[in-house]
Structure 1
Amino acid sequence: MNRDKFLSEIIGSPWSDRACSFDKTDCWGLVVLYYRHVKGIELHHVDGYESGADFLTCHEDVKTHWESVEHPVNDSMVTFYHGDKPVHVGVLISPGKVLHSRGDNGTVRIDSLLAMMRIYSSVGYMVYAEV
């Protein structure tokens, strides 16, 4: 599926904790869907994710399959932090634009990276390393 078709189908889907479908998804589920349908890559399974393990634990497990990069790269995973704790992820879909699914009755949407950086204390970028 090309990126434009994916975006037209996923934008506006409601956020739902631990969900990973076009009908509803959380932030990690959105990254999984993007990589599956746009990049043709099945991401490594995160033990405990479906059972409700906290986001920090899941993020730490995921990091072993990704490589940190200093600067944003299209299709990279963007991780947002409060202090040193990762709390949200999305996909950089173009310079300065992040696709993400936000909680609190939110939906899948595209926001400016700069606007997102005002909400969180720091940001990190990772490319899939296919380990």
Structure 2
Amino acid sequence: MAKHRIYTTSFASVYPHYLAKAHKKGRTKEDVDEIIRWLTGYSQDDLATILDDGTDFETFFANAPRPNPARVQITGMICGVRIEEIEEPTMREIRILDKMIDELARGKAMEKILRAP
């Protein structure tokens, strides 16, 4: 099976789009980074390194130190596809992150985005 082109896209090239989407709705870089850290287990220093070194999406998710087990609670539609029906693990992780950033941009409370108990 051919890899989807986004897998080889650098995370740093898409990150500004996450920020722009959040900023348009009055949310901050810190909010975006908190979501990424929650989802992956990367530290803020790790995230800075990833943004500097051109890490691609596939490597970004494959090397995530502590993928949050609660990420399976992120469900619903994103880009016309139901997240829980995406079989390919990397694409599912990308779409979970997209969904969380969308929720942030829609003004959802951070506790709800992070599926806090």
Structure that is richer in strand per residue: 1
Structure with the bigger RCO (C-alpha within 8 Å, sep 6+) is 2
Report the TM-score range of the alignment, normalised by the length of the smaller protein: 0.3 to 0.5
TM-score scaled to structure 1, two decimals?
0.32
Identify, as 1 or 2, the structure richer in helix: 2
